[in-house]
Amino acid sequence: MTEMRFLRQEEKDSLAQLFNNAYRVGLETARKWADRAGEPRTLVVPEPGRLASCINMLPFEMVFGGQSVAMGGIGGVATWADCQGKGYAGALMHRSVEIMHEQGYLVSALYPFSFRYYRKFGWESCGDRITYEGFRQSDLRRGEDSRLVRASRGAEDATLFVAAYDRQAAERYNGLMVRSHESWAARLNTLAEAGGHAYLIEEDDQPTGYFLCDHPQDSGGHIGLRIRDFATNTPRAMRAMTMFLATLPANVETITLQTAAHPTIFEAFLEPTVRKLLAPGFQFRVLDVCGAVAARGYNSAARQGFTVHITDEHGPWNTGAYEFDFGGGRGEAKRLPEGVATDFSWSIQQFSQVFTGYRDMVQQHAAGLFDAPSAATAAVVRDAFCDRPTHLMDFF
């Protein structure tokens, strides 16, 4: 059996050596990563004279149905190159599910190097992104709404960014992280120090959106503008952002805009044929079925219930039969006695996709991919969980 324990304070340098060997990022960056590690968030596999493998479990909150849910973010999964393939990272992944559950996290998310690898441990693809790649100012519609945009004055505007972001997190998507006022002030400072720009969109003096721009240069020295973090809470706010981009100076040669897969923003372009890349963004897992279902918010349209059997190899406390019930914007998953017949079955990966609103069971049923007893049962599942598209903009 693989020996595992929490990182000790005096082992930060060993951890930096491990990060540098696994990721080849240089010791300076590896030391910065190691500085953020520690008990109870870093689990390691020790070997004589070094740490062979590690995993970080980072404390976050994600918003689902307008309510925040405790989320353990998996990051920094690494094994020395000459120790790989011995099952070290796999043992850490398995143990992380138990530890995060013990520590009270209800769900977990990660950015995968391989979707196949993390699927084995219960995480599943739960959010797609569209990157509108390398378009020009002249590809975009122009218009008066661009005047709603103003450059941010920095951290003193943090309250306005918080308001625009929080509204988007509560009303428009599932999966966005909770961001504090302090984290916003730090984010704006870091962006400014790196030469980026933050813009607010205001309608009648109220913040209805924002966008953060950085300026990557390619090997030929061409200047680009990239937006991966924005909120547009009204149709005018969306037009304001894209119409403002149409007015950028001509030395900005390419624009890249990353959005959730839904809704698309094709109408912002004169012709919708600009290059787009559709790709899965992150993987997600429910750690505690009963806790996560109770913590999440629901539309008041979600009213009826269903019964389901869930199987979770790495979180056996989740395996069993449930009765789900919804009403008044709340949900409950009640355990049923073992052996009770249920309407259908889900793996924890399937349930995780449903929980986030990523998987529409009515579409699945129509395509013959969901063995619910009827289209009506599929509609009950959709009414409960498909309340918003999924999106995650924070990296960890």
Ligand X SMILES: CC(C)(COP(=O)(O)OP(=O)(O)OC[C@H]1O[C@@H](n2cnc3c(N)ncnc32)[C@H](O)[C@@H]1OP(=O)(O)O)[C@@H](O)C(=O)NCCC(=O)NCCS
Contact positions vs ligand X (CB under 6 A): 22-23, 53, 77-79, 84-90, 112-114, 116-117
3-state SS of 231-300? Answer: EECCHHHHHHHHHHHCCCCCCEEEEEEEEECCCCCHHHECCCCCCEEEEEEEEEEECCHHHHHHHCCCCC
Structure tokens at 216: 């990557």
Between residues 177 and 245, which has the closer beta carbon with respect to ligand X? 177
Task: Report the distance separating Cα 256 and Cα 217, nearest Å.
Answer: 12
**Contacts of 1 by beta carbon, 8 Å cutoff, 6+ apart:** 91
- State the CB neighbour count (10 A cutoff) for residue 28: 9
Between residues 90 and 329, which has the closer beta carbon with respect to ligand X? 90
Between residues 25 and 336, which has the closer beta carbon with respect to ligand X? 25
Between residues 116 and 144, which has the closer beta carbon with respect to ligand X? 116
Q: What residue number has its CB nearest to ligand X?
A: 90
Between residues 79 and 152, which has the closer beta carbon with respect to ligand X? 79
- State the CB neighbour count (10 A cutoff) for residue 142: 15
Both ends of the chain: CA-CA distance in Å?
30
Smallest gap from Cβ 86 to ligand X, in A, equals 5
Smallest gap from Cβ 60 to ligand X, in A, equals 16
Between residues 113 and 195, which has the closer beta carbon with respect to ligand X? 113
Smallest gap from Cβ 26 to ligand X, in A, equals 14
Between residues 352 and 377, which has the closer beta carbon with respect to ligand X? 352
Query: Is 150 in contact with 258 (CB distance < 8 Å)?
Result: no
Between residues 52 and 237, which has the closer beta carbon with respect to ligand X? 52
Smallest gap from Cβ 9 to ligand X, in A, equals 23
Query: How big is the chain by its Cα radius of gyration, in Å?
Result: 23
SS percent in the chain: helix, strand, coil, step 5: 35, 35, 35
Distances (CA, A) of 306 to 151, 240, 383: 50, 44, 12
Q: In what order do the strands lie in the sheet with 223-232?
A: 5-6, 42-47, 50-64, 67-79, 107-110, 276-286, 124-135, 252-260, 223-232, 206-214, 197-203, 149-151
Query: Is 396 in contact with 60 (CB distance < 8 Å)?
Result: yes
Smallest gap from Cβ 79 to ligand X, in A, equals 3
Between residues 23 and 266, which has the closer beta carbon with respect to ligand X? 23
- Under DSSP, the state recorded for 100 is H
**Contacts of 23 by beta carbon, 8 Å cutoff, 6+ apart:** 30, 78
Between residues 79 and 125, which has the closer beta carbon with respect to ligand X? 79
Smallest gap from Cβ 78 to ligand X, in A, equals 4
Smallest gap from Cβ 118 to ligand X, in A, equals 8
Backbone angles phi, psi at 395, to 5 degrees: -105, 145
Smallest gap from Cβ 111 to ligand X, in A, equals 6
Task: Report the distance separating Cα 121 and Cα 99, nearest Å.
Answer: 14
Smallest gap from Cβ 314 to ligand X, in A, equals 13
Structure tokens at 267: 């109408």
Smallest gap from Cβ 354 to ligand X, in A, equals 24
